[in-house]
Structure 1
Amino acid sequence: MKQACGCLVLLCVLLAACREQAPSTQVVRPVLFHEVVAAVRPLSARFTGTVQPRHHLVAAFRQSGHLLSRQVEVGERVRSGQLLATLESSDQRSEVRSAQGEVARTEVLWRNARDELVRYQGLHQQGVGSVARLEQLNSEVEVRAATLRQARIALHRAEEHLQQTQVRAEFDGVVTTWHAEVGQVLASGAPVVSLARLDNLEVWFDLPAQRVNELARDKAPRIWVASMSEPVMGSWAQVRQIDPQLDAGTRVQRVRLAVEQLPAGIHLGSLVSVELVPAPASAEPFVPVSAVWAHAGQQYVWRVDRQHSQVQAIEVEVLERDGAQARIRSVLQPGDRVVSAGVARLQEGQRVRLEERGGS
């Protein structure tokens, strides 16, 4: 009986010892970790731009000659149809006078032939005269009428030649540049004067080549155009065009902006401030792609509890991947630590030992 009681006590002691040693079999796994940080808002960038016309015209004479006069100066506003410049036009005026004289002469001959035909027709109806003479007068009237038409065409052509010795404004605008001086011999089609329209101005500025791609992205920075003296007084703008050609010397590209409304006091040729305002920083942090694991169609990361050094599965939504980084939406906060390597070997509640940062 005493022997049986001794065996029972020994068995209880062994069972208690086993229960005390069971927790010691849990593995404390060393892991790399990544500390979540708040998204950083990029700094804005400022450039200097100039107000330029979206529509402009380079006017020219349609014939050659000496530039006789310039009727307006650079910066002067002009109306549509206003005379801007003239060529020496004595030859053209002589041509017009000669054509006018020819028209007057042929018109007299045509009227005389017509009157003679009318008179002879009256005689013929009374039985006087011959049919041959009547046909001859009809033919003469037709010839005189054709000659008159040709003379009028020649007069119209001469008047066009005279008009081509003048350059007139095709729209309301402002003179921006003269390309020729008085007395200069100009070839037909040579540039004479440049006009700019004032009803549709835009802003041009030069952007470094490495920043051009920012404007082509879906979430491009907003653009604020303002006066140099009052940066708060301005308007939002949109990219209308980026010149494809890169300046080989300065490594910049010309950007043309369509402005919603130019600030008061800003006019053609004004210098303005162009600020690239970054989009508001996203609240979603970035974590290493290696920290994300999936189960049953859902994605998770392991968050390490700072107090007990245990891992907890946190459900996340991957918004985008950028190389080795993934932007996620979750309940994670700045300062939380997530396991960045070996996530497949962990279990819920498992204790870990943080070795070093990884995946940053």
Structure 2
Amino acid sequence: MTQTPDPRDATANPTDKTGAARARPARMKIIIGGVLLLTIAGAVLYTRSSAQANLDEEQTRLARALMVETSQIKAQDHYQIHQKYSGRIVAGRESDHGFDKGGLLAEVLVDEGQRVKKGDSLARLDMRRLEARLGELDAELSQSIALDHQAGAQLDRAQATYDRYKVLRQQSHISAEKFDQVKFDLAGRKAQKTAAESAILRTKAALKSLRVDQALATLTARFDGSVVRRYQDEGTALGAGAPVIRLIEDEKLEIHLGLPEAAVAKLSPGDIHVFQQNGTRLTARLRATHARLDPATRTVTALFDILETSAPVHAGSLAQLTLAHEVPANGFWLPSDALAESRRGLWSVYTVTPAKGNHGATHGTVARQELQLLYTDSERVFVRGTLQDGDRIVTGGLHRLVPGQMVKLAKGQ
């Protein structure tokens, strides 16, 4: 059964109604304060948790940082271009030795590859005809000498007769006709004597010429060197000037090198240069340069005398000379391994920015820098771009890196 509230209850205790109204705001303040305290505590707890998480994340990044090799770069205002030029090693002298007159080749005394000294015999002609002719001239000389003696005796007798008849003619004991006969006889004897002497001189000259031919019938080396070719063998009938032996002066080698005019202008006779020939080091002195430009190659030939070699070299091989000249340009020398391909024909490099805090000396983050390649020199390149003097770059292992990655510097860097 439902009970009807008693109206007297609402007015029975007015004090209780006022106290309840007053207690309500106080409870709200307490609730709001509690919420604020909880919010502040939560924020503090969240901040501490975030900081700890960030710290843990940073520690993790540092622990997982990839170790890289780096180097510090320095700005340059020029770079050197090294250009290689190839020259031919030639013998100081090289000639084909042959006989100045034709004949039958009787003997070849050397073979290819054999070393000879100046004056050594190389080959001989058949000299039987020369020897026979020498015998004839010797006989002619003996006959001419005998005739000269006879003419001399006859001249002495004619001179004595002339002297006697001259006195008799002065005394008019003989006729003028008789004296003229004696005078003409003396003149004839003098002519015979002169002819005999001329015959002796002519025969001696022929003998001398024949002895020269006899000497030249033996082919001798004109300088120290090596036999590089043997053209003829025994029994060959040679014409005058036909080559028999080719000889080169391989102990005195030189290099003939064609250079551009600009490069030649920087060289001075007497300068020492180092050549390379298949790993062999050659030290050579510039002797001279040609006075004309080769119209075919547009180069000037420079002549170098080889002074010293680290190993034997041979005439006919090639030797390389490296010359450097400076090109004005602002940029940096970088190791070739520090480059990575980029877009639009450019290249890139990774620079290292030191990490914040106490780890800046050992750790950093990498960033990509775009570069333009100016010159390549063996294991390094000259570039220009957004790099700054003193930047530290990664010198290897670029395929493992991405921009913003944490890295650890190798020890000693």
Q: TM-score range by the shorter chain?
A: 0.5 to 0.7
The change in CA–CA distance for 1:197 and 1:215 in structure 2 (over 3 A counts) is: farther
Structure 2 match to 1:346: none
Is 1:83 paired with 2:121?
yes
Tell me if the contact between 1:53 and 1:198 (Cα under 8 Å) persists in the aligned partners: yes
The change in CA–CA distance for 1:117 and 1:273 in structure 2 (over 3 A counts) is: closer
1:224 to 256, 266, 274: 274
Tell me if the contact between 1:227 and 1:266 (Cα under 8 Å) persists in the aligned partners: no
**Structure 1 segment 21-170 matched on structure 2, within 5 A:** 39-42=78-81, 45=84, 51-122=89-160, 124-125=162-163, 130-170=182-222
Task: Give, in whole Å, the separation in 1 of the partners of 2:293 and 2:185.
Answer: 76
Q: Could you tell me the TM-score, scaled by structure 1's length? A: 0.53
The change in CA–CA distance for 1:214 and 1:116 in structure 2 (over 3 A counts) is: closer
2:324 to 278, 297, 304: 278
Task: Give, in whole Å, the separation in 1 of the partners of 2:244 and 2:81.
Answer: 48
Structure 1 unpaired stretches of 5+: 1-35, 287-332, 338-360
The change in CA–CA distance for 1:37 and 1:236 in structure 2 (over 3 A counts) is: same
Is 1:235 paired with 2:283?
yes
- Specify the SS of the correspondent of 2:308: coil
Is 1:203 paired with 2:255?
yes
Task: Give, in whole Å, the separation in 2 of the partners of 1:334 and 1:215.
Answer: 27
Structure 2 match to 1:262: 308
Q: CA deviation at 1:110?
A: 0.7
- Specify the SS of the correspondent of 2:189: helix
Q: CA deviation at 1:266?
A: 3.0
Tell me if the contact between 1:44 and 1:276 (Cα under 8 Å) persists in the aligned partners: yes
Tell me if the contact between 1:240 and 1:256 (Cα under 8 Å) persists in the aligned partners: yes
The change in CA–CA distance for 1:214 and 1:150 in structure 2 (over 3 A counts) is: closer
Task: Give, in whole Å, the separation in 2 of the partners of 1:216 and 1:131.
Answer: 86
Q: CA deviation at 1:56?
A: 2.2
Structure 2 unpaired stretches of 5+: 1-74, 169-178, 332-382, 388-413
User: Can you list the C-alpha shifts for 1:298-342, whole angstroms capped at 9, x where unaligned?
Assistant: xxxxxxxxxxxxxxxxxxxxxxxxxxxxxxxxxxx96589xxxxx
The change in CA–CA distance for 1:139 and 1:276 in structure 2 (over 3 A counts) is: same
User: Can you list the C-alpha shifts for 1:100-120, whole angstroms capped at 9, x where unaligned?
Assistant: 211111111111211232244
Q: Could you tell me the TM-score, scaled by structure 2's length? A: 0.47
Task: Give, in whole Å, the separation in 2 of the partners of 1:38 and 1:161.
Answer: 72
How many residues of Structure 1 are paired with residues of Structure 2 in the alignment? 242
User: Can you list the C-alpha shifts for 1:265-324, whole angstroms capped at 9, x where unaligned?
Assistant: 435448575242433x445449xxxxxxxxxxxxxxxxxxxxxxxxxxxxxxxxxxxxxx
Tell me if the contact between 2:83 and 2:324 (Cα under 8 Å) persists in the aligned partners: yes
Q: CA deviation at 1:126?
A: 5.0
The change in CA–CA distance for 1:56 and 1:240 in structure 2 (over 3 A counts) is: farther
Task: Give, in whole Å, the separation in 1 of the partners of 2:93 and 2:328.
Answer: 43
**Structure 1 segment 3-18 matched on structure 2, within 5 A:** none
The change in CA–CA distance for 1:245 and 1:202 in structure 2 (over 3 A counts) is: farther
Tell me if the contact between 2:76 and 2:330 (Cα under 8 Å) persists in the aligned partners: yes
Task: Give, in whole Å, the separation in 2 of the partners of 1:70 and 1:264.
Answer: 35
Task: Give, in whole Å, the separation in 2 of the partners of 1:140 and 1:255.
Answer: 66
* 1:196 counterpart letter in structure 2: I
The change in CA–CA distance for 1:175 and 1:229 in structure 2 (over 3 A counts) is: same
Structure 1 match to 2:355: none
Tell me if the contact between 1:223 and 1:277 (Cα under 8 Å) persists in the aligned partners: no
Task: Give, in whole Å, the separation in 2 of the partners of 1:158 and 1:113.
Answer: 27
Tell me if the contact between 1:100 and 1:155 (Cα under 8 Å) persists in the aligned partners: yes
Task: Give, in whole Å, the separation in 1 of the partners of 2:306 and 2:210.
Answer: 48
- Specify the SS of the correspondent of 2:133: helix
User: Can you list the C-alpha shifts for 1:197-216, whole angstroms capped at 9, x where unaligned?
Assistant: 356411357x8xxxx64875
- Specify the SS of the correspondent of 1:59: strand
